Amino acid sequence: MPEKQLEALLLCHTPEPETAIALAGRLCYSDSDILSLKEAVEGKSKKFISRLLSMGHLSPIEHASFTFAAQGVSRALLAQITRHRIASFSVQSQRYVKKDALDFIVPPSIRALGEEAELKYIAQMEQCQAFYQGWLERGIPAEDARFLLPNGAETRMVFTMNARELMHFFSLRCCNRAQWEIRALAWAMLGMCLREAPALFAKSGPSCIAGACPEGKMSCGKAEAMRATLDKLKALASYGADDAEITRFARENCI
């Protein structure tokens, strides 16, 4: 039963996302025809997007969408990310995909306790697999045997969010108070978005980077560290780092 770790990919996105958004935004304030507007925004989309963001006019931002894939993530993460309802998800089914070996995620807090604790956790995962396999061998369908599988079981998914929902997602899930696994995924996704559309996501990230922390007394108190991490991620994205390099940065710096 191998341990898995986060792998994130940006599969595709709206072609020229910043141009599409700028065109949609200009349309709201112009009597020009579409082709004229398209010519008007060429080379000027970054400046106009900045104006839209500063005005709080965010509906045009919804015209760009980004499709990601993630594997090496837990069912616990799945339960969290699907709460973001303005998104589309396709998830590996535990009903139709039988597991001869249970791939799983090891929480850093358990690994931090040392080898003995980690081996105990692995043994418990193996016991869950044994229970699951035992029911399959008795002819129980996978859709029922899966009730024995833990939240730590690995899953894989493809999901799509528009840029406005991504901004909201980043403000919540890049925060230090977000659970460690979805936080790492969020930072990886943010890095990929910054690489593809830097003007669009220039102000994205945890809420504290642009103002006061909204967590009040529950604040982590590390706003400066968050800004420093974001600056490093922007530098990484600016020279075109690939998905694997950005994901590795998130695993090493954002958990």
Query: How many Cβ atoms sit within 10 Å of the Cβ of residue 37?
Result: 18
β-strand pairing of 154-162 with 65-74? antiparallel
Burial of 177 (0-12, 13-18, 19+ CB in 10 A): middle
Q: Do residues 106 and 3 touch, judged by C-beta distance below 8 A? A: yes
Nearest to 7 by CA among 66, 67, 70: 70
Query: How many Cβ atoms sit within 10 Å of the Cβ of residue 103?
Result: 19
Catalytic, 177? Answer no
Tokens in use for 82?
């699907």
Q: How far is CA 249 from CA 14, 33, 100, 185, in A?
A: 25, 44, 32, 11
CA distance 19 to 49: 9
Active site residue: 75, 146, 164, 173, which one? 173
Annotated catalytic residues are 173
